[in-house]
Structure 1
Amino acid sequence: MARSTYPDVDIPAKSVYELLFADLADVDLDRVALVDGSSGDETSFRQLIAQIDALAGSLAARGLAVGDTVGILCPNIPAFATVFHGVLRAGGTATTINSLYTVGEIANQLNSAEAHWLFTVSALLPQAAEAAAAVGIADDHLVVIDGADGHPALRDLLFDRAAPPDVQFDPATHVAVLPYSSGTTGHPKGVMLTHRNLVANVLQCEGIIPLTRDDRALAVLPFFHIYGMSVLLDFALLKRAGLVTMPKFDLAEFLRVTSEHRCTWVFIAPPIAVALAKHPLVEEYDLSGVKVIFSGAAPLDRALAGAVAERIGCTVCQGYGMTETSPVTHAIPVAESGIDRSSIGRAAPNTECRVVDPETGRDVEVPEQGPSAPGELLIRGPQVMRGYLHDEEATRHAIDDDGWLHTGDIATVDSDGVYAIVDRLKELIKYKGYQVAPAVLEAVLLSHPDVVDAAVIGVPDDDGQEVPKAFVVRRAEGELDEAVLIAFVEERVAPHEKVRMVEFIDVIPKSTSGKILRKDLRSRVGRHAAVG
């Protein structure tokens, strides 16, 4: 076991709202908190706090009780911050929903989270309304932020002018947010993150991410994802930095916003790094204001990090975490240029780590020089989730009796406390930073009448990014081909979950207990790649 090399930070018994806004200095009230990257519209901290308080008061007046769950289906716009923190300020629980989800996926999350309200935008209203109706959310509880006939708009709630409620709850146990994660395996599960989890993690970030009040941070990574929610939205607000929002990634717009708003910190996922390293359009924009590009959500290659740093003229770092850890557990210190950029750096303050042999469960020995033998990375700290919603078995599988979260990732560690992720036990596919659960895709594939059996694994595409590949046993009498099957799945899942490749085989390899032998499928991919 090893503790973080950083000193512990004090974690107060405060709610997220109290941490971020209760002690805001008068000099900061008129600082810019949020900038709409598309329009340039600015929201000050004074305006943001007034909106959060007004929304909290309106929700309470309209019947939201402490512990009620509110769904948020919304891209990155400044109003997201108002809605998200308004829900938390009222004592509610926010379940953030992927903006790319289908009607069925939205409904499943709303139903699982037992949501009583849903906030969305007019562009997403068709699927939001259908999903809300399916789970019994009434039209007056489906709030369309920018307005739509038959539904309250955000301005309607703000104009209620109701005082924010005096809510009482224990920050250590009260669930603040309920994002959904596939964990180490299986279908998406609600991750119960308390106010203490989120408060702890933004304070832990202070020790390893030197964002300042003079910085402007680009927020293109979605707020519905724990990375965007905690590292961008909450952490930037805590540091009184300006947060520049983008509702979706478009390279030209990304470069324009970064340049025109003089963003100093740019938080990305590795696919954006590929564009920054290779695309000729980058040369047309002035990115001289960028000091740090910080990557997360999926592994960043050493050579790619170096190419971006050289082209942009900035520092490139990456961090590591999970939805289950709120999310940050590790990061490369910006000031330590000698740390391998393909590593995940050092453990965050207040974080304990173990690297254990998956077979024996014993801690691997750390040599005096060089990295250790690989083993599963275990995490313990105040950022570790309370558990999975309504799933005690999955919670016990993830967190052992001593409080160690089993990440499912295979790591090494050296004597300087620098960790690197080298593989993973878990079956989860990371496509452009999004989680894709093989079990979900396999269920969709098996619903096709001509599919007898199916298995899905992640394989690298031409850019080295992991994409879902399906191995399918088809009905002998059918005429199923790859294009038809890919289209079939595409109609039933979010865009990032699409199957990108299909290989028809005679039988899916399985163990005697019926578990899919994905390692056999991976070795098959390797053999075919070598032959090809």
Structure 2
Amino acid sequence: MAFASRYPDVEIPELSVPQFVLAGVAERADRPALIDGLSGETITHGELAFYVERVAAALHAKGLRKGDVVAVFSPNTIWYPVVFHGIAAAGCVISPVNALYTPEEIAFQLKDSGAKVLVTVSPFLDRALAAVEKSPVDEVIVMDGAEGHTSLRDLITADAPAVQVDIDPANDLITLPYSSGTTGLPKGVMLTHRNLVANVSQSRPLAGVDEGNERIIAVLPFFHIYGLTVLMNQGLQWGGAVVTLPRFDLEQFLRTIQDQKITRAFVAPPIVLALAKHPMVDQFDLSSLRSVTSGAAPLDESLAQAAQDRLRKGAAEGTAVGQGYGMTELSPVSHTTPEAGLEPAGAGETPKGTVGYALPNTECRLIDPATGSDAAPGERGELWVRGPQVMKGYLNNPQATAETLDDEGWLHTGDVAIVDDEGRYTVVDRVKELIKYKGYQVAPAELEAVLLNNPQIADAAVIGVLDKESGDELPKAFVVRAPGSEISEDDVKAYMAEHVAPHKKIRLVEFIEQVPKSMAGKILRKDLKNR
């Protein structure tokens, strides 16, 4: 049985993402679009549109054409959206690279995506060049400048002729983020212009937007689809100001909310935990903050309530803390908590702990994992989603695409949910094996492959172990020592730290005699979880 959204469908504009996000820029040309939360440096909406046009022209003059992939390896800066939309306006495809990646991980993405150019920043240049040695590209552009490399200033000041690219929003890709999906190694998620335009359009009826006056704090990374769509593109499309921070530091985060009069914070559960419990919160005036929305990992009901109660005590009378649900393959949002007063007709306040309602234009099914049939009303089932935000598929991976996206357009999320009589969804479990750590997806298979490259390890398996304090899943390795090996827990952790990004590091190690496996050789993770 398919559950339709409780909200009426919205119209999805037939526009490219830059056309959609930068529409109406003439009316707000002098208003701030992007503000550096640390330095105060500002780009206005008018300047943003001009810079985007110049970057697109310069890239075209360099020989890049529609469909070419440009990888972007950078922390959040006010120039990231300039690069993103400039690449998109040139008809090219942006493949955002995790800022924490090692050269090996960057090289994999460059090769798999077929990137022709890598855009980075000077502090990341060592890793970028090491990656390019393994997987060459035509050029490395350094946004803030480095000897021997084109800079962003060079692109913006080039006198290349303006370019107009014919984009088919429904079919042409705009971005190629990498996700482990519901299982396995990272895969390129093919998202079209329509996917991203749809997701911002679908989300709007659930947000009481103060047109042109919203100030969104962007501490979640733009290389993650949550930051890219919900913070960056949604904030700019609303005509508001997006205030960037390069990383999460609690004092900087709180000071920026206070000084920049932030109205909305889209965050992950660890930040909600800090807002609820850290004593530093009381030192800052957060009264401008109207809305805190958590995503990327489940948010505990009591934690959401504690954060809301505390923020309201601090004179932010209307501050509401809610959560949403999504995944990279959904561009990323399929469900969210509506702002007070924007609930469907007849519905009351959305309970904490739920991920709210399905967005407009979105259908859902709940499928019993054991039988493959629709779950009975009130019963748990794997959440399937269908709508205009659903990805086109995985790049060069028809098998993985078929396993996640069926012939009828249903995306099988791998998460188990339940829906109440009002149409509000709660995510309760996970079918898939992915580990969720600080909002990042960590694929056990990827970590196992790294472990098995160590000659002192005969076999290994990785699972996620719930940390009740943080709500995160900690990657735990079960390791079988090679004959004669005396490798220790610290040795295993140090080895992994050298080869993977920080969020993928092994946090716990247990040595075992044999990894439990099925007759077909599949690791029996349930057996390990039951230990």
Aligned counterpart, 1:496: 503
Counterpart of 2:492, as a letter, is L
Aligned counterpart, 2:41: 41
Q: What is the CA–CA distance in structure 2 between the aligned matches of 1:99 and 1:60, rounded to whole Å?
A: 26
Q: Deviations over 1:449-489 (max 9, x none)?
A: 12111111111224332110111111242111100100000
8 Å contact 1:211–1:241 — kept in the other structure? no
Q: What is the CA–CA distance in structure 2 between the aligned matches of 1:134 and 1:479, rounded to whole Å?
A: 32
Q: What is the CA–CA distance in structure 1 between the aligned matches of 2:24 and 2:283, rounded to whole Å?
A: 39
Counterpart of 2:372 (choices 361, 368, 372) is 361
Count residues with an aligned counterpart. Answer: 516
Q: Deviations over 1:401-440 (max 9, x none)?
A: 1111100000001111111100001111110001111111
* TM-score where L is the length of structure 2: 0.96
Q: What is the CA–CA distance in structure 2 between the aligned matches of 1:440 and 1:481, rounded to whole Å?
A: 21
Identity of aligned residues (%): 51
Q: What is the CA–CA distance in structure 2 between the aligned matches of 1:426 and 1:448, rounded to whole Å?
A: 27
Counterpart of 1:144, as a letter, is V
Moved more, 28-37 or 85-94: 28-37
2:307 aligns to what SS in structure 1?
Answer: helix
Q: What is the CA–CA distance in structure 1 between the aligned matches of 2:158 and 2:298, rounded to whole Å?
A: 46
Question: Structure 1 unaligned runs (5+)?
Answer: 367-371, 525-532
Counterpart of 1:194 (choices 186, 192, 205) is 192
**Is 1:326 matched up with 2:331?**
yes
1:469 aligns to what SS in structure 2?
Answer: strand
Counterpart of 1:20, as a letter, is V
Q: What is the CA–CA distance in structure 2 between the aligned matches of 1:175 and 1:153, rounded to whole Å?
A: 25
C-alpha change, 1:166 and 1:464, in structure 2 (3 Å) is closer
Q: What is the CA–CA distance in structure 2 between the aligned matches of 1:167 and 1:475, rounded to whole Å?
A: 57
How far the C-alpha of 1:338 sits from its partner, in A, is: 2.8
Aligned counterpart, 2:445: 439
**Is 1:378 matched up with 2:388?**
no
Aligned counterpart, 2:215: 216
**Alignment map for 1:44-123 (pairs within 5 Å):** 44-123=44-123
Aligned counterpart, 1:251: 250
How far the C-alpha of 1:219 sits from its partner, in A, is: 0.4
Moved more, 212-221 or 388-397: 212-221
8 Å contact 1:356–1:362 — kept in the other structure? yes
1:235 aligns to what SS in structure 2?
Answer: helix
Question: Structure 2 unaligned runs (5+)?
Answer: 313-318
* TM-score where L is the length of structure 1: 0.95
Counterpart of 1:117, as a letter, is V
Q: Deviations over 1:206-226 (max 9, x none)?
A: 122333321111000000000
8 Å contact 2:18–2:89 — kept in the other structure? yes
8 Å contact 1:73–1:99 — kept in the other structure? yes
**Is 1:296 matched up with 2:295?**
yes
8 Å contact 1:353–1:377 — kept in the other structure? yes
How far the C-alpha of 1:280 sits from its partner, in A, is: 1.2
Aligned counterpart, 2:462: 456
Q: Deviations over 1:10-36 (max 9, x none)?
A: 112211111112x31532111111100
Aligned counterpart, 1:529: none
Aligned counterpart, 2:309: 310
C-alpha change, 1:157 and 1:25, in structure 2 (3 Å) is closer
Aligned counterpart, 1:5: 6
Counterpart of 1:396 (choices 394, 397, 402) is 402
Aligned counterpart, 1:158: 156
**Is 1:347 matched up with 2:358?**
yes
8 Å contact 2:214–2:238 — kept in the other structure? no
Counterpart of 2:517 (choices 491, 510, 522) is 510
Q: What is the CA–CA distance in structure 1 between the aligned matches of 2:161 and 2:201, rounded to whole Å?
A: 29
8 Å contact 1:4–1:350 — kept in the other structure? yes
**Is 1:24 matched up with 2:24?**
yes
Moved more, 508-517 or 88-97: 508-517
**Is 1:475 matched up with 2:473?**
no
Counterpart of 1:485 (choices 488, 492, 496) is 492
Moved more, 509-518 or 45-54: 509-518
RMSD: 1.1
Q: What is the CA–CA distance in structure 1 between the aligned matches of 2:266 and 2:470, rounded to whole Å?
A: 20
Q: Deviations over 1:466-516 (max 9, x none)?
A: 110111111242111100100000100001100000011111111111111
Q: What is the CA–CA distance in structure 1 between the aligned matches of 2:62 and 2:471, rounded to whole Å?
A: 50
8 Å contact 1:53–1:163 — kept in the other structure? no
Q: Deviations over 1:67-96 (max 9, x none)?
A: 000000011101000000000000000000
Counterpart of 1:523, as a letter, is N
Counterpart of 1:507, as a letter, is Q
2:287 aligns to what SS in structure 1?
Answer: coil
How far the C-alpha of 1:286 sits from its partner, in A, is: 1.1
Aligned counterpart, 2:266: 267
Q: Deviations over 1:147-173 (max 9, x none)?
A: 111101100111113233111131111
Aligned counterpart, 2:202: 204
Q: What is the CA–CA distance in structure 1 between the aligned matches of 2:324 and 2:386, rounded to whole Å?
A: 17
Q: What is the CA–CA distance in structure 2 between the aligned matches of 1:188 and 1:463, rounded to whole Å?
A: 25
**4+ long deviations beyond 6 Å:** none
Aligned counterpart, 1:413: 419
